[in-house]
Structure formats: C-alpha cells, structure tokens
Amino acid sequence: MVAEAGPRLPRRRAVAPRSTPASATTATPKASYLLTLAKVKDLYRTRNYEIALVELVALEKQYPNDERIMSMKGSLYEKVGRRQLAREAWEAVLALNPYNLQVAEALQRLGK
C-alpha cells in the first residue's frame, strides 16, 4: 500500500541574505535630548561654555528647530563673547515663538 502524499510544495530557492545599507550601520545613535540638556546646564554652571556649546550644536543637528536649544545656544554665545551669534540664535527663537519673553529681554539687554 502506498501512502498518498499531500500536495507537492515548490522547492525553496536559496536567497542571499539582505545586506544592510552602510548608512544604517554607521549612523550615530540619537543623543538623549534631556540628558544632553542636563549635561549642558552642568557645563554652564561650571563655566565650561565652549564645551557646552559643542554639545548643543551637536544636539541641534538632531533637533534643528528646537526653541530651547536655540535659546541656550544664544546664552552660551553671549558668554563666550560672540554677541552677533547670540543675537542670531535669539532672533531665530523669536521667529518660532514671538511670545518668548526671556529671549526678548535677552535681546534687549544685548542691544544696550
């Protein structure tokens, strides 16, 4: 007696594994927004303004239109004596949020 075989399935062809794009494997992980801001605040408190600025500029690449980052960047530029860059950063904040009174006051103070 011959057992009846079920439906015949097609043979699977060998498929080469998918390669991961180079950009996916070499991309830098996204920095933690809150941890980086906390680090920047600590650096500001200890008067390490240049290092804080480097951290913020890197974070700004991931969050380009972030009002808080631009505002902090303006304060840091002011601390390192780059008044024009401080003005540009704060003006960009006011372009996003014209009701930001802290930044408006900082710009007025800078103008004096």
Q: Which CATH class is domain 31-111?
A: mainly alpha
List pLDDT tens digits, range 47-67. Answer: 999 999 999 999 999 999 999
The residue extents of the domains of the chain are: 31-111
Q: How many CB atoms lie within 10 A of CB 91?
A: 13
The pLDDT-based confidence of 23 (bands split at 50, 70, 90) is: very low
Task: Please tell me the predicted confidence (pLDDT) of residue 17.
Answer: 53
DSSP state of 63: S
Task: Please tell me the predicted confidence (pLDDT) of residue 9.
Answer: 58
Q: Which residues contact 39 (CB under 8 A, 6 or more apart)?
A: 52, 55
pTM of the model: 0.71
